[in-house]
Amino acid sequence: MTGAAYAEIAVFFGTLTVLAVPLGGWIGRAMRGEAPLVGRLLGPVERAVYRLAGVDPAEEMSWRRYAAAVLAFNGAGLLLLYALQRLQPALPLDPGRLAAVPRDVAVNTAVSFVTNTNWQSYGGEATLSPLVQMAGLAVQNFLSAATGIAVLAALTRGLVRRSTQGLGSFWVDLTRSTLHVLLPLSLGLALLLAGQGVVQSFGGVGRWPLRDPVPDASGRPVVEQAIPMGPVASQVAIKQLGTNGGGYYAANSTHPFENPTPLTNLAEALAILLVPAALCFTFGGWVGDRRHAWTLYSAMLVILVPLTMATVAAEQAGNPAITAVGVDEQPGPLQAGGNMEGKEARLGPVDAGIWAAATTAASNGSVDAQHDSLTPLGGLWPMWLMQLGEVVFGGVGSGLYGMLLFVVVAVFVSGLMVGRTPEYLGKKIEAREIKLASVAILLPSAVVLGGTALACLVPSAAAAAANPGAHGFSELLYAFSSAANNNGSAFGGLTADGPFWTRATDVAMLVGRYGVLVPVLAMAGALAQKRTVPPSAGTLPTHGPLFAGLLVGTVLLVGALTFLPALALGPIVEHLQLHSW
């Protein structure tokens, strides 16, 4: 790694921390209905929404009712998004005259955006009209992220409240997180991006002459490129902030219309981690333990920073097979150096490495380089970050509630080790909590391993991988790791619109989302009913380096033990092969 790379990583995480702390406090106040300024402006809107929807904002939902509301709301969103895609030709705002989306792909896309995965088996601007992107995808970008924040709020109430059934109202949490948190943030980011040149228009197709004409299939020279335009800046803002990741363009953030300048690259990369990072502080403030917030945040950084550096280092080191044929891969004043395959030449391996780590740590999935072309190790770390369960920052809301499941397990084992029934923030961790945490941690991993095994056995599924050998296996493993952990980034190379892959990833995304979300709500319900045990010297503190280390150890050990055999047959062996060339 070059000095500049170290500096860039330091600036990136430094800026993230400076932004996340105040934002976290602000989200907390917004969710509790205490937000100043914006609250006064948006308060009347919020109340109007409740009146219009016939919602009683004072309602206290039990966990079952809360979960039912989440499922019903997401179910309705799924149907609507499916209908929009199927009815596309009959709807306005379609300058490209695009056809109806095929059924399997439409279902897959609907599931993908509702579950905050944003796995794309469709072709971006070539498949969907500005209307479907705006009214369909962008709406779900907001709502799926808001759902995550709402569930986290319910879990937080479960920890804070005592001897009660009520976890708050899903409708209020959904409205507040959308209206007070995601909308203002997105508006700000969209303006910044548009100011930097990101496209924001109501369609039309731009035509540009090609500098170097290329021959088409019949050998005639192509001299002009037609690129559909649309409301890109507004959609990219929420795609980054809401850990969604589904780009307006198929090329995602490598596309100059989505990511034109170094500043947009930094802003978009920061936006990936911003809300999940801020939610650590929201949570800490809400439960009244700021030191715990810092402990959670540090634990995530302790995992992410080294893995980011490892990814950047692997990319910057380049490919020994290419070095062997006499190509200079050293970074220097005239070239970024390193592995440039699949990289946007404007961005290079350092930006790509940081983005790759951030987008897989958070369940974002947007890319500014093609992950399929990363070096074996450069691809290993992002894949592993997803397999850890998307808990290192993870999805908006879902990342932190996923991390809290690991906290429950870590607290349980360490509680036993100090000779006391384990308790977390004063709530005793008993058989029911362990059962729910186990289910929620187990399910996504089971889908990743089981799905990959199935893909290995079904010839048509395995054939969808573009590459032979270990790399082809990595493509299969990456696809399920991404879908079941609701990341949505693709390793490329995989032809994912066939019946096996669309249906298999449908199941993976649904299980990965609701197989965690529902147990988390059940746990919130169980915790809310408990009394709070006052802390004493015998209570294990859940802050400080020791607990952070314990949490990091738990996450890494579970992730390593579950996936080491599979990873050994994919990126690890590929790396060893490459270096024993």
Contact residues for another protein, defined by CB under 8 A = 409, 412-421, 426, 429-431, 433-435, 438-439, 441-442, 445-446, 449-450, 452-454, 456-457, 462, 468-470, 472-473, 531-534, 536-541, 544, 546, 550, 553, 557-558, 560-566, 568-569, 572-573, 576-577, 580
Q: What does the alpha-carbon distance between residue 309 and residue 2 come to, in Å, rounded to a whole number? A: 11
Amino acid at 271: A
The residues near 43 (Cβ < 8 Å, ≥ 6 apart) are: none
When the beta carbons of 52 and 431 are compared against another protein, the nearer one is 431
When the beta carbons of 116 and 562 are compared against another protein, the nearer one is 562
The distance of closest approach from Cβ of residue 477 to another protein in the complex, given in angstroms and rounded to an integer, is: 9
Nearest to 525 by CA among 283, 28, 168, 282: 168
Distance of CA 88 to the CA centre of its chain: 27
The distance of closest approach from Cβ of residue 454 to another protein in the complex, given in angstroms and rounded to an integer, is: 8
Provide φ and ψ at 188, rounded to 5°: -60, -50
The distance of closest approach from Cβ of residue 11 to another protein in the complex, given in angstroms and rounded to an integer, is: 34
Neighbouring C-beta atoms of residue 408, cutoff 10 Å: 23
When the beta carbons of 255 and 530 are compared against another protein, the nearer one is 530
When the beta carbons of 255 and 471 are compared against another protein, the nearer one is 471
The distance of closest approach from Cβ of residue 165 to another protein in the complex, given in angstroms and rounded to an integer, is: 19
When the beta carbons of 83 and 462 are compared against another protein, the nearer one is 462
The distance of closest approach from Cβ of residue 572 to another protein in the complex, given in angstroms and rounded to an integer, is: 8
Q: What does the alpha-carbon distance between residue 424 and residue 404 come to, in Å, rounded to a whole number? A: 10
Q: What is the dihedral of CA 36, 42, 46, 51, to 10 degrees?
A: 130
Classify residue 137 by its DSSP letter: I
The distance of closest approach from Cβ of residue 556 to another protein in the complex, given in angstroms and rounded to an integer, is: 10
Q: What does the alpha-carbon distance between residue 397 and residue 153 come to, in Å, rounded to a whole number? A: 8
Q: Is residue 155 within 8 Å of 283, Cβ to Cβ?
A: no
The distance of closest approach from Cβ of residue 383 to another protein in the complex, given in angstroms and rounded to an integer, is: 15
Burial of 255 (0-12, 13-18, 19+ CB in 10 A): buried
When the beta carbons of 149 and 516 are compared against another protein, the nearer one is 516
When the beta carbons of 322 and 439 are compared against another protein, the nearer one is 439
Instruction: Report the alpha-carbon angle 136-20-369, nearest 5.
Output: 55
The distance of closest approach from Cβ of residue 511 to another protein in the complex, given in angstroms and rounded to an integer, is: 14
When the beta carbons of 231 and 376 are compared against another protein, the nearer one is 376
The distance of closest approach from Cβ of residue 476 to another protein in the complex, given in angstroms and rounded to an integer, is: 8
When the beta carbons of 217 and 561 are compared against another protein, the nearer one is 561
CA R_g for the chain: 23
When the beta carbons of 129 and 319 are compared against another protein, the nearer one is 319
Residue keyed to tokens 């170094």: 262
The distance of closest approach from Cβ of residue 504 to another protein in the complex, given in angstroms and rounded to an integer, is: 14
**How far separated are the first and last CA of the chain, in Å rounded?**
23
Q: What does the alpha-carbon distance between residue 312 and residue 1 come to, in Å, rounded to a whole number? A: 7
Distance of CA 225 to the CA centre of its chain: 32
Nearest to 127 by CA among 163, 161, 97: 97
Q: Is residue 335 within 8 Å of 314, Cβ to Cβ?
A: no
